[in-house]
Structure 1
């Protein structure tokens, strides 16, 4: 496909403030949906009375389609135009939110959440491409920093906002609010005067999209269901095998497509791949903690739900300001790569500090490590997106944005599933070795899975009251030991990823930046 370079903002033909406002509002809503919807699950369960697995898909269905369709929307946006793709995404998301708000059946709610995820994928892919092509080098840096801050704010206040809405109005209010904000975005879109792309004989790669989405759906479904079916079960392994086969068919098809969804040549760009991988490291070092640390704080550390919710702001607060700080540092002349390497170091140091915290630790002991982890993630947020997309040709920015966000979201899904599985595995191992004599009649696998969710109350009811205190101490120490074992593995993954990133971003004779402006900053 051949697309003309879109007119940059400084020509005066566009309205940068309105463009930025629409995109920031849209990408703010999406992380609030990811981090906040889980708060409503108990209330949804009481009203709709679903089975546990169908209830879990209220969250999983959104994450699944979001991750699977991001790359597809990036490619489509390059063909039909980024504004049209962004508009379609906003409309689809709004429809999914409204259906979610009015659903009276859990399966309808699950499907509506999947629809909203498809819209969210279009918003992220097309929105990122618009920022990359409509803003020049200096303005692009600021725009992506603000976008990173918007994501951080959404992640941080999502649980708090959702909790207030559920407590005072009801769980349906969450989705009405999401639909309302996206409604404002839709009202702004007509004023987003972007240069329409011109193309000749451009075609949507339906075969590539279908094979990629199928492969991603099979993979993520296998990861999500693996903890319930068993990771070595025939069903789980079958999904993984079919995913590999589908992905191999996708790669083969793309090699012979005249206008492929994924131009494989983009993966030969070391700078682009390096900056893309920079978004994967926080998936293992930050987002796993965002999901599972509340269980540790409320169960092992013994904090109340309210205190735990406030404590989690320590992880999210740096994301409000660090993306802007990152942009300011680059503006001041510090190389973008230097800022990135520092951010990776800060993230890893924060995770390492968590290894020295044990049961009975005060909230103050958690504050330092959590702030460091959040700061390391925040310094990278926005910066990596802007630098990655700045290293590809403008006509491929939609495809590049789709690949970037697919890699980020896919790695988050994998990291979170991996954490849960590894935690349960370690708990089973530790508890099997040290299970007290008075608890030998308990199903050790069920016990480990229950404790892994942070539920230490139910197991206490399974032993004699005279042993309750001792059994509670046993569960605390087992969870604490397993938590530290998992953190060691995650830290190792972050270190390996950082080494690969540094290698890819190191100067090379074959590395030629796509955009001179980005090269100067990096």
Structure 2
């Protein structure tokens, strides 16, 4: 019998059905808000930049501060939850998320907004890792498969409505209400958590919190992401970027050494020896590059290059996010009818690659019908594996380590999102910078645009999606003509980076397929979810 089919019961006495239902509702309500914040924030970036006069790097950190904090602390929260109790850790995350969202709504400048978003990310890390661990503990067998399908569906709903809601709020009330709405939603969840804590058995495994390991991991992730974000501004071969990368690798090496010697490690490295678990954990990484990067930067393309307003761009993003709403439950039903989960996961990887490839056909004059097919396929690539991959991965792990395993899975998910978004932004800025420099020559009116200069600053402003502001900053005599040049340059840079996403998706798909190969072992995972 395979390991996945011999996992012991998650609790000596399973909670009554009413308690399990209440637990599921509380987790799903909180989970709903987190992806809504991630997808919706991208739509608000142009208005945030115009209001705060922030450059590309501070604007990137409005998204990246959340993602980096989420990535850094997801594994930490997973480990903490196994020590102090998953419901307590979950409740703390809800409170932190609400506080960070309120702080974001009243932030006076981009730096304060970045800090508030980081606090929100810390809370979001607890919601996702502890919420998943609670579900894997309370539910088992077919009920677990359905619970994680709902987990993926609700996350998909958040992703799907995020851009549209944010676009409507930005146009109607201003960008600050994007964050205020998240705070209001979680303040509605918070009063429910104490009741759930009294109804659900406390799951705390004892031991100590791995403070040195947690600190080292956080430092390594911050150094790595900062290096990637600053690569386009400082230069990829600059001493600053190379120094940050070297420091990140050193911190990771020390982290591994500390974890091997720790009696209560934040990450049990033995879990990573299970290649199927590792392969499943890489599936969200593929989704980060193939889907989340577009979720962040496609709205800017739609507004800056195709000339649509924020509200229209938000509505069009439903083409990308709607499949994430529908596909998780479709996948669960297909599994229930005998389709192997790993077959669906493989199909999701194919959809991500094909969708990104088809998006290279976009042009400034692209209509809705041209946009629809590649965006729907890419969204299906994300939706088919959402929730399903979590249940499959956690079925391979000892329930006593479910918090840590969920933390690791979501660390790769959000860590790769932070890295993917940062890499995409930096690559876009780098390629666009070259296009702009070639177009305006030496900054003394070369390249056919009299008066145009400040190539580096113009490129940075344009990479944030503010082409009008970039044209004004250039000093070009023919501002309209120069704005048209910037539109063409942005379009060209966007397509160049898209080809990079396709290449990354292909490589990850091959690696994941190799790790998941093995008929009998894979069948054990399938059986755990039926």
| TM-score w.r.t. length of structure 2 | 0.88
Per the TM alignment, residue 232 of structure 1 is displaced from its structure 2 partner at its CA by: 2.7
Instruction: Work out whether 1:394 is the aligned partner of 2:399.
Output: yes
**1:284–1:160 Cα change, 3 Å:** same
**2:124 maps to 1:120:** yes
User: 2 CA distance for matches of 1:332 and 1:13?
Assistant: 25
The 1-side partners of 2:80 and 2:526 are apart by: 25
Alignment of 1:394-473 (within 5 A): 394-431=399-436, 437-439=447-449, 442-461=453-472, 462-465=475-478, 468-469=480-481, 471=482
Q: Write out aligned runs for 1:70-469 (5 A).
A: 70-103=74-107, 108-192=112-196, 193-197=199-203, 199=205, 202-431=207-436, 437-439=447-449, 442-461=453-472, 462-465=475-478, 468-469=480-481
Shift of 1:273: 0.7
**92-101 or 350-359: bigger deviation:** 92-101
* Equivalent of 2:495 in 470, 484, 505: 484
Kindly state the Cα deviation for residue 146 of structure 1 after the two structures are TM-superposed: 1.5
The question of 1:21 aligning with 2:25 is answered yes
Answer yes or no: is the 8 Å Cα contact 1:78–1:399 preserved in 2.
yes
Kept in 2, the 8 Å contact 1:129–1:401? The answer is yes
Alignment match, 2:443: none
Structure 1: give runs of 5+ residues left out of the alignment.
none
- Residue 15 of structure 1: SS of its match in structure 2? helix
**How much does 1:100 deviate?**
3.7
Q: Does 1:496 align with 2:507?
A: yes
Displacement of 1:133 after TM fit?
1.5
Distance apart, 1:508 and its partner CA: 6.7
Pair 486,164 (structure 1): closer, same or farther in 2 beyond 3 Å:
closer
1:173 Cα deviation (Å)? Answer: 4.0
Report what 2:4 is aligned to. none
Q: Separation in 1 of the partners of 2:362 and 2:47? A: 33
Deviates more, 1:117-126 or 1:48-57: 48-57
The 2-side partners of 1:408 and 1:254 are apart by 21
1:58 deviates by 4.0
CA shift digits 1:24-69 (9 cap, x unpaired): 1111111222232455556667877778765654443322211111
Q: For 1:367-412, what per-residue CA distance to the aligned partner results, in whole angstroms no more than 9, with x for missing partners? A: 1111110111111111111111111111111001111111011111
Secondary structure of the residue that 1:437 maps to in structure 2? coil
Q: Which has the larger displacement, 122-131 or 427-436?
A: 427-436
Cα distance per residue 1:321-364 (max 9 Å; x no partner): 01111111111100001111111112211111122333423221
Aligned length: 514
| Alpha-carbon shift at residue 115 of structure 1 (Å) | 2.1
1:69 aligns with 2:89: no
1:280 match: secondary structure: helix
Q: What's the offset of the Cα at 1:241?
A: 1.4
d(CA) in 2 for partners of 1:157, 1:398: 29
Following the alignment from structure 1 to structure 2, what is the Cα–Cα distance between the partners of residues 429 and 225?
Answer: 16
Between 145-154 and 426-435, report the one with greater CA deviation: 426-435
Q: Alpha-carbon deviation of 1:521?
A: 4.8
**Structure 2: where are the runs of 5+ without partners?**
1-7, 441-445
CA distance in 2, matches of 1:478, 1:111: 32
Q: Does the 8 A contact of 2:82 with 2:204 survive in 1?
A: no
1 CA distance for matches of 2:425 and 2:300?
11
Query: TM-score under structure 1 normalisation?
Result: 0.89
Please give the per-residue CA displacement for 1:129-149, whole angstroms capped at 9, x wherever unaligned: 111121112112221121112
Q: CA deviation at 1:434?
A: 6.1
Report SS of the residue matched to 1:262: coil
Q: Return the offset for 1:519.
A: 3.8
